[in-house]
Amino acid sequence: MLFFSSQLGDFSLHFIFPQRNQSLAEQMTRKSSERRKVGADHFAFYRAYLEGVEIDKAAERYLHFSPRDVRSIRSEFKWIRQTLTLAATRSGDRRSALLLGLGPIPVPAASGASAEASNEQTLETFAAEFDPEGVLSESDLIAYFEEAQRDRPVAADRRASGAKERLRVRQLAALRSLEVSLVDTPKLHHMIVGWLEPALAARLNAAQIYTLDDLVNRCNRDGHRWWTKIAGLGEKRATRVTSWLTGHSDSIGHVLSQRALVPRRQLQATTPEAFTRAPTASIAPLEALTVPASLDGSTGRNRAPIERKQIDANNDYAAIYSWLRDFEHKPHTWRAYRTQAERLLLWSIFARGKALSSLNTDDARAFRDFLLNPEPADVWVGPHGAERWSPAWRPFTGPLSASSCKMAIAAASSLCGWLTSQLYLASNPFRGVKVSSGTCPEPGGDRDPSDRSLSIGQWHFLINGAYSEEAAALSPTAFRDRFLLLLGCFGGLRVSEIASAKVQDLKHFEAADPTDVSLRWYLRVIGKGKKSRKVPLPTPLVDALRAYLLSRGYTGSLIALAASKDPIPLVGRLDGNDRAGLLSASTVGETYKRIFTQAARLLGDSEAAEDLRRASGHWLRHTHATHSIRLGTSPAHAKDNLGHASIATTSQYTHIEINERWEPMEKFARGMLPST
């Protein structure tokens, strides 16, 4: 067992959850299950301590602590000792409580003392040697002293050694006796607060993890880095958790999968099947879906004459993959369209009870309404970030927003329109299906990009506070997070462009001023539509890049690193394994989301915190555009830096007109107020 507590009173610590309309009996049952339990590993730790093993080594061996985690080890040791001595006292065995509280009893080896050595020993000398910390009361000390003096013919040191040995035997016997009555074993249904430190249990509870069953399932669902989705947990604590769960897998009866124990890149290289799902005829990702023969679309009502079809697909499943084949060279687009086609096919089969090629216009309208409220939620909605191989995966993570609904209908119409053009379908059921402008506004209507950019105050809070240079120095993760913020804001790059950037994409050029001998740098970026552009890198960003590369072990100059043959990702993996390849765009996007979420948590319950929780990596691109133009960059230059196809897109970030109209409105409002 590995966890610790700072309790000073009752060893059966209670950690009370918020009550949820429970009956008194349910509350009492729950309180009983929430008491901090004592396991066999606690007794093994304390037995080692009594036998003279240093507590840091005993904690490492039996409780999975790091020897450097001194404060936590001391806290856990204190809790265990108080728990055991209090349990012995409550059972009426005060002598055992005193024995267990004594700590290790040193028993010196028998010495060859000369005959001249004194056979006499005073109570004071016995107390100084036997109870140097003064734990025993005077009456108990006298009783032990008299017991030690019974064998008069034996030399004094031999008598003391024998007495201590007898006491040590009694001490270990008391521990064994207490273990029989007190030790508990973890079970799958146990509340985690019964086994984990209260502060740790609170963090897990906040992530909707209440029982050991919940904890094991979460680890198996999210894989080796499951802890990254739980605020305040950290890798060290997570490692102790998984070590403890693994050590108690027999009693829990539910083991951690290899996905939870081995880093994904290592496991995927050796066991790729660990990241696939077995075929199933229930709701599942496309690659694991087995479509019922009666609903596979081979005889769909909206099928065009089979002899006229222009694709080899004989069913709806194959037809979808035929459509997706045109987007294989655009992986982001391919994944987005696969998601929309997947949702349509799953809804058609499991909610509508029809083959996709049997859908009509009424079905298309019903699908539109379903997107805004996918019910029942326990069937269709799953946790955000669940891997496609996970049993927790669902087609949705919640109702779609208005704009996402519009995009989904557009994708469904594109799919069915293409299948109609290939004479697989007789008609497109989504053609003419309208999405209410009240719920799904036209993209780019009155949506102001500045609504999705950081204010100067928010930016300063991030870069000078939550992710300051001092904070970044605390860990490799914090160091990378700060660089990602600088890169996203100062470079104005898309998340996908950041993920694909390499050090070899850096190029240098001379300053326009012939007296300036310093080099300037830009990053060659391949953006949307495979269009190449040059993004100038300001000096603060280049300095941050040099420091970041040095922290990853790249000691050469930037010129030498940019000219090296081995590809170096601009943003590296936390384990330093750059040879594993570039990070995915989704990983970079999730990292940005974590950065903003953690920063929002520091702001507490406020509107500013709520705004940061909405932020994503793309917000930094909007922040770059908004504030670079505000600080003097011409819209034409900003257009080239951002890779916009039209100056009209860049012009959305200028606010000249609204500023001109603000002054008269201010004057009007002041004129309407009574003078003071």
20 pLDDT tier (thresholds 50, 70, 90): very low
Please give the average per-residue pLDDT across 466-493, as a whole number.
Answer: 86
- Predicted confidence at residue 24, as pLDDT, reads 35
Please give the average per-residue pLDDT across 205-214, as a whole number.
Answer: 87
All residues at 6 or more sequence positions from 665 whose CB lies less than 8 Å from its CB, including other chains: none
* φ, ψ dihedrals at 607, nearest 5°: -65, -35
| Amino acid at residue number 644 | H
Does 223 or 356 have the greater pLDDT score?
Answer: 356
Q: How far is C-alpha 575 from the chain's CA centre?
A: 16
The length of the chain, given as a count of residues: 676
**Above 50 in pLDDT, residue 337?**
yes
- Predicted confidence at residue 650, as pLDDT, reads 54
* Each residue's pLDDT tens digit, 556-598: 889 889 888 888 999 988 877 777 678 888 888 888 988 888 8
* Each residue's pLDDT tens digit, 24-51: 334 433 444 456 788 888 888 888 888 8
Distance from C-alpha of 107 to C-alpha of 157, rounded to nearest angstrom: 10
Q: Which residue has the tokens 């739980």?
A: 230
Domains and CATH numbers, the chain: 123-180 (no CATH), 192-274 (no CATH), 280-421 (no CATH), 451-651 (1.10.443.10)
- Predicted confidence at residue 652, as pLDDT, reads 57
Please give the average per-residue pLDDT across 659-669, as a whole number.
Answer: 55
Q: Are residues 247 and 61 in contact, defined by beta-carbon separation less than 8 angstroms? A: no
Residue 118's Cβ-count burial label (10 Å; 0-12, 13-18, 19+) is exposed
Distance from C-alpha of 165 to C-alpha of 154, rounded to nearest angstrom: 15
* Each residue's pLDDT tens digit, 247-266: 888 888 777 887 788 877 67
Q: Which residue has the tokens 């950290």?
A: 234
All residues at 6 or more sequence positions from 459 whose CB lies less than 8 Å from its CB, including other chains: 489, 623, 627
**Above 70 in pLDDT, residue 88?**
yes
Q: What's the mean per-residue pLDDT of the chain?
A: 78
- Predicted confidence at residue 17, as pLDDT, reads 32
Which strands sit side by side in the sheet containing 519-526, from one edge to the other? 506-510, 519-526, 532-537
Six token digits for residue 305: 């004459």
Q: Are residues 594 and 462 in contact, defined by beta-carbon separation less than 8 angstroms? A: no
| Helices (H), ranges, 262-401 | 264-270, 316-324, 331-350, 361-372, 377-380
Six token digits for residue 133: 């910390």
Question: 253: left (phi > 0), else alpha (psi -120 to 50), else beta?
Answer: left
- Predicted confidence at residue 409, as pLDDT, reads 92
* Each residue's pLDDT tens digit, 439-472: 444 444 444 555 678 888 888 888 888 888 888 8
* Each residue's pLDDT tens digit, 345-362: 999 999 999 999 999 999
Please give the average per-residue pLDDT across 142-170, as a whole number.
Answer: 65
- Predicted confidence at residue 3, as pLDDT, reads 38
Distance from C-alpha of 144 to C-alpha of 158, rounded to nearest angstrom: 15
Q: Are residues 386 and 369 in contact, defined by beta-carbon separation less than 8 angstroms? A: no
H/E run at residue 507: strand 506-510
Does 484 or 160 have the greater pLDDT score?
Answer: 484
Q: Quick one: DSSP state of residue 184?
A: B
Map 12-81 to HEC letters.
CCCCCCCCCCCCHHHHHHHHHHCCCCCEHHHHHHHHHHHCCCCHHHHHHHHCCCCCCCHHHHHHHHHHHH
* Each residue's pLDDT tens digit, 309-318: 999 999 999 9
Please give the average per-residue pLDDT across 533-538, as a whole number.
Answer: 85
Distance from C-alpha of 163 to C-alpha of 208, rounded to nearest angstrom: 54
* φ, ψ dihedrals at 625, nearest 5°: -65, -45
CA-CA distances (angstroms) from residue 587 to 124, 439, 534, 580? 69, 31, 24, 14
**Is the Cα dihedral 34, 35, 36, 40 positive or negative?**
negative
Does 172 or 529 have the greater pLDDT score?
Answer: 172
Distance from C-alpha of 497 to C-alpha of 513, rounded to nearest angstrom: 31
- Predicted confidence at residue 98, as pLDDT, reads 84
By DSSP bridging, strand 519-526 and strand 532-537 are antiparallel
Most confident of 127-141, 243-257, 383-397, 415-429: 415-429
Q: Which of 35-44, 324-333, 508-517, 535-544 has the lowest mean pLDDT?
A: 508-517
All residues at 6 or more sequence positions from 55 whose CB lies less than 8 Å from its CB, including other chains: 45, 49, 73, 74, 77
* φ, ψ dihedrals at 430, nearest 5°: -90, -5
Distance from C-alpha of 138 to C-alpha of 143, rounded to nearest angstrom: 9
Distance from C-alpha of 649 to C-alpha of 161, rounded to nearest angstrom: 89
pLDDT above 70 covers a percentage of the chain that reads 77
Please give the average per-residue pLDDT across 50-67, as a whole number.
Answer: 83
Six token digits for residue 162: 């024998």
Q: Are residues 97 and 88 in contact, defined by beta-carbon separation less than 8 angstroms? A: yes
CA-CA distances (angstroms) from residue 412 to 173, 305, 416, 505? 73, 22, 6, 38
pLDDT above 90 covers a percentage of the chain that reads 18
- Predicted confidence at residue 380, as pLDDT, reads 94
Q: Are residues 317 and 289 in contact, defined by beta-carbon separation less than 8 angstroms? A: yes
Map 406-461 to HEC letters.
HHHHHHHHHHHHHHHHCCCECCCCCCCCCCCCCCCCCCCCCCCHHHHCCCHHHHHH
Q: Which of 133-137, 283-287, 373-377 has the lowest mean pLDDT?
A: 133-137
* Each residue's pLDDT tens digit, 588-612: 888 898 888 888 888 877 777 788 8
For the CA atoms of 56, 58, 63, 66, the dihedral, rounded to the nearest 10 degrees, stands at 30
Distance from C-alpha of 569 to C-alpha of 651, rounded to nearest angstrom: 33
Q: Are residues 373 and 401 in contact, defined by beta-carbon separation less than 8 angstroms? A: no
How many C-beta atoms lie closer than 10 Å to residue 452's C-beta?
17
- Predicted confidence at residue 270, as pLDDT, reads 65
Does 401 or 367 have the greater pLDDT score?
Answer: 367
**Above 50 in pLDDT, residue 117?**
no
Does 212 or 472 have the greater pLDDT score?
Answer: 212
Most confident of 120-124, 549-553, 628-632, 633-637: 549-553
Does 633 or 485 have the greater pLDDT score?
Answer: 485
